[in-house]
Every structure is written in structure tokens, then in C-alpha cells.
Amino acid sequence: MWSKKELEVSDVVLLMDRFGYVKTVDTSTYDRNKDTADAENKLILKVKNIDKLCIFTNNGNMHLVKVLDLPYGKFRDKGTPIDNVSNYDSSKEDIVFIAPLMDVEKHKLIFGTKSAMIKLVDGAEFVVTRKTSQAQSSWMMMSCCLLTCFQRMLQWECVQRRRCSFESTVALFLKRKRQQ
């Protein structure tokens, strides 16, 4: 009788280069090649192999991609364009924020637009079964961050190394590091 093999849960490192090619490698492989990986890739995330990635775009869409659908292999393998494994289209939209679904559902997210409009959304709202959903309708997003602490001066950092902060409950300020 044939039995289905159980999937072993493990930590992997997701690497995305500047051209949008993604791959996953073992954490020990990443640790051995850490300096090279940091220099060659624009996005590095430690995720579980059973998790899903949330890709937020500037058009207000959120695309879900299973980590198991991403190529797993050697460090020098090229990877696959993110366009080929999701409904994301790099010719029509830009990636603003990428995070594992496990992290998104535990936190609140803040969305910011070019015209300095800010919206705080509970991460549990993004736990959906559809591959693509409207994260924020009619918003051209400039930034998206995970909210990780509640203090008088709230501060958190995006994956893209942007820094946002709330000054008080009366006034909202959005600070952004200049891109080099």
C-alpha cells in the first residue's frame, strides 16, 4: 500500500536578486555564503518552507506565493522570476513590501501613499485563500511596514530599509530614508 510522505518543516532562506529572480536555500548554505548573498541579493528573508509569502505592490494588490513553489537548490543556481510563480506582473506594478504570511497575520500593517495618507490594518485581514487580492483599493502605495511595537513613539522598519514613525496620537508623520 502506498503512503504519502509527511512534509518536514524546516527553515529556509529566500533570496531575491535585483532582477526579481527568487530561490530558496538551506540556512546552513546561506550562513556559509552570507557575505556574497548580502552583496548579490536585494531581499533576504528567513522563512519556513511551509509558509506563504505576501507580496504587496504599489497598485494596492497582495499576491500570495507558497514557499514550496519557489525553487530550492544550490547557492549558485539562478532561481526563477517572481512573475512566473505568482500573478505579479513586473511590467505593470512594483513590489513595495514582502513578508511571510505567519509574520503578517500576527502584526498590524501600515500603508502609506505618496500624498502622505496612512492606514493601519490588522494583519489577520490578509489571511486569504486567493492568490491575488486587493490589499488597499484605489491606493497607490509608496510604503508598507509591519507594526511591531506600541509605545508613545512607535517605530518600525520595512524590509526595504525605510523608516516610518508615529509622533503621537494627534499627529501622524511618515519619515522615509532617501534611496541611494
Q: pLDDT tens-digit profile of 39-54? A: 999 999 999 999 999 8
pTM of the full structure = 0.72
Rounded to an integer, what distance in angstroms lies between the CA atom of residue 51 and that of residue 36?
25
Could you count the other beta carbons within 10 Å of the beta carbon of residue 152? 8
Contacts of 111 (CB under 8 A, 6+ apart): 118, 119, 121, 135, 136, 139, 141, 143, 144
Q: Does the pLDDT of residue 102 top 80, yes or no? A: yes
Q: Does the pLDDT of residue 84 top 70, yes or no? A: yes
- Do residues 108 and 124 make contact, with C-beta atoms less than 8 angstroms apart? no
Q: What is the pLDDT of residues 125-163, one digit of tens each?
A: 878 776 666 665 555 555 555 554 433 333 333 334 445
